[in-house]
A and B are shown apart, each in its own frame.
Chain A
Amino acid sequence: QVQLVQSGAEVKKPGSSVKVSCKASGGTFSSYAISWVRQAPGQGLEWMGRIIPILGIANYAQKFQGRVTITADKSTSTAYMELSSLRSEDTAVYYCAIAAAGVHYFDYWGQGTLVTVSS
Chain B
Amino acid sequence: QSALTQPASVSGSPGQSITISCTGTSSDVGGYNYVSWYQQHPGKAPKLMIYDVSNRPSGVSNRFSGSKSGNTASLTISGLQAEDEADYYCSSYTSSSTQVFGTGTKVTVL
Contact = CB atoms under 8 A, between A and B. Distances in A.
Contacts of A47: 91, 98-101
Contact of B98 (A61, A107, A111): A61
Interface string B84-99: 0000010111001111
B109 interface: no
Q: Which 5 residue pairs are nearest across A and B when measured between Cβ atoms?
A: A105-B36, A105-B51, A104-B93, A104-B34, A44-B104
19 contacts: A44-B103, A45-B38, A46-B3, A47-B99, A47-B101, A50-B99, A61-B1, A62-B1, A62-B98, A97-B46, A103-B52, A104-B36, A104-B99, A105-B36, A105-B48, A105-B51, A105-B52, A106-B36, A106-B38
A81 B12 CA distance: 39
Nearest to A60: B98
A35 B3 CA distance: 17
Interface residues of A, number: 24
A44 B51 contact: no
B89 A45 contact: yes
Nearest to B49: A105
Interface of A: 35, 37, 44-47, 49-50, 59-63, 95, 97, 103-107, 109-112
A44 B45 CA distance: 12
Q: Of residues A44, A45, A109, which shows the largest number of chain B Cβ atoms within 10 Å of its Cβ? A: A45
Contact of B104 (A35, A45, A62, A95): A45
Contacts of B79: none
Contacts of B93: 104
Contact of A110 (B45, B91, B92): B45
Contacts of A112: 45
Interface string B37-48: 010100001111
A95 B96 CA distance: 22
